[in-house]
Amino acid sequence: MDPEKIMDGLAKELSGALKAMAKAKTVEEKLTYSQIVKNLCDSLGVFLGLANDMMEFDMVED
């Protein structure tokens, strides 16, 4: 699967989770959405870290 599509999907899910968290009424709902947001951010961070590593590798070859 294309990493760009995965990152775009994660970003869309993150945006949706943030909007849902803003509308949450109870503390339990807010906690649930905050855990979802954290997991999505961690997942997105993996891809961004990988992209950063690849960019450093490309510069070494030049």
Q: What is the 3-state secondary structure (H, E, C) of the chain?
A: CCHHHHHHHHHHHHHHHHHHHHHCCCHHHHHHHHHHHHHHHHHHHHHHHHHHHHHHHHHHHC
Lowest average pLDDT, out of 10-14, 28-32, 40-44, 56-60, goes to 56-60
What is the pLDDT at residue 59? 61
* Higher pLDDT among residues 59 and 53, named by residue: 53
- Angle, alpha carbons 33-8-16 (nearest 5°): 25
Average pLDDT, the chain: 88
**pTM, two decimal places:** 0.76
Using one digit for the tens of pLDDT, what is the confidence trace for 15-45? 999 999 999 999 999 999 999 999 999 999 9
| 16 vs 11: CA distance, rounded Å | 9
